[in-house]
Amino acid sequence: MDPMQVVERQAQQTDSRILLLVMDGLGDIPNAQGQTPLSAARKPNLDRLAREGCCGRFDPVGPGITPGSGPGHLALFGYDPAQYEIGRGVLSAVGIDFPLQAGDVAARFNFCTLDAQGHIVDRRAGRIPTEENRRLVAKLREVQLPGVQVFVETESEHRGVLVLRGEGLSPRIADTDPQKTGVRPLPVRALVPEAERTAALVAQFVSQAQRILAGEPQASGLLLRGFDSLPRIPSMQERFRLRPLCVATYPMYRGLARLVGMEVVEPPEGLADIPRVLTRHVEGHDFAFVHVKYTDKAGEDGDFERKKAVVEEMDRLLPELLAARFDVVVVTADHSTPVALASHSWHPVPALLWAPGRVFADDVVEFSEKACIAGALGRLPLRFLLAEALACAGKLAKFGA
């Protein structure tokens, strides 16, 4: 039996509170000076939690596997990402409150920059402002396809959502994003015979969109990925008897939280606004998921100093978060985004678990990737981190006689 099935059976509701602070893409690898943004940051509050708590490293999916944000967060919420695989399109659609219906096919797209030969120069179109995105999306809504409804929606910055609605659609479509520059977008391709019609419709959309975007200085093309349809996932209430809350800015993470049954409240306007939103809504909840995107953005941009600065800013805000009276605090990431690679990687994520009087304090004295190697939590699949937090919060009954 999977140990998480035992966790589900033994879960019990209590008044104790758990804070899950996720610094997206936090994990990194040392530079030539032997430092990561996390180890180089001045972070007295995080270091105190590490000294008083227990640390370790966790694999979001498995050793050597580079995870997307969706699988990483599912693991953080106690789900096996290999069992519950959700396409990015669905996460983006529900994250912007799009009324996705059973049978719809959703895909996330990036506006991108293409050169005169059609090669990708920038996969994110210079991270165009969201207002510019809305202008372009309004133009793309002119696209019409035979036999289906077409919805094109803004997500944020360079990101958008495409939804097709009609009879007999299949989400088994390959990504058109090659995940690198200097090459052309990949052709639309069906992964199974029954998806051929859907692939042909998507190809028509891409062709028409390309004509509409021709001549745009930055957003001159589209890259699609994460095709999927609405899944059925048991909620965190059903599985773990939790009353969970989500405080997140970016639509995708809000969408995933909504799919697993969290109450999703208004997005913080920036880092400094996170404590206010959390404090306003935490009553009546015993699990709070707080998401910070900016560490990941800095890692993807290869910006060591900015990633370090985000860590330091969150450390300064930590006392305000803890003022909401949490019995258990977990600080970790959904995946690593090393500055040197400027992309997600397979490296395990650092994690700390703070629960006064309930956690086995180890000899770790700071919160960093290297220090966490010596932590008592060891190296485990990320989905087991929630089980540790539930146990420390007294939310798991004894198993067996």
User: For the residues 287-299, what does the mean pLDDT come to?
Assistant: 97
| Residue 151 pLDDT level (bands cut at 50, 70, 90) | very high
CATH of residue 237:
3.40.720.10
Are the C-beta atoms of 358 and 392 separated by less than 8 Å? yes
Per-residue model confidence as pLDDT tens digits over 155-188: 989 999 999 999 999 999 999 999 899 999 999 9
Q: Is 400 among the domain residues?
A: no
| Residue 314 pLDDT level (bands cut at 50, 70, 90) | very high
Are the C-beta atoms of 10 and 1 separated by less than 8 Å? no
Give the Cα separation of 7 and 248 in Å (integer): 26
Per-residue model confidence as pLDDT tens digits over 2-24: 889 999 999 999 999 999 999 99
For β-strands 244-247 and 263-264, DSSP reports them as: parallel
Whether 111 shows a pLDDT value over 90: the answer reads yes
Whether 369 shows a pLDDT value over 80: the answer reads yes
Are the C-beta atoms of 67 and 79 separated by less than 8 Å? no
Kindly state whether residues 330 and 368 are assigned to the same domain: yes
| pLDDT score, position 97 | 85
Kindly state whether residues 242 and 292 are assigned to the same domain: yes
- Structural domain of 171: 91-228
Kindly state whether residues 33 and 95 are assigned to the same domain: no
Per-residue model confidence as pLDDT tens digits over 228-284: 998 888 999 999 999 999 999 988 899 889 989 999 999 999 999 999 999 999 999
Give the Cα separation of 365 and 351 in Å (integer): 13
| pLDDT score, position 215 | 86
Considering Cα of 274, then 279, then 283, then 285, what sign does the dihedral take?
positive
The chain-wide mean pLDDT, for the chain, equals: 95
Out of 206, 228, 250, pick the residue that ends a domain: 228
Per-residue DSSP letter, 128 = -
| Residue 96 pLDDT level (bands cut at 50, 70, 90) | confident
Kindly state whether residues 54 and 116 are assigned to the same domain: no
Kindly state whether residues 385 and 239 are assigned to the same domain: yes
| pLDDT score, position 152 | 96
Lowest pLDDT segment from 53-67, 197-211, 249-263? 249-263
b/e code 225-236 from CB counts within 10 Å (16+ = b)? bbbbbbeebeeb
Kindly state whether residues 63 and 148 are assigned to the same domain: no
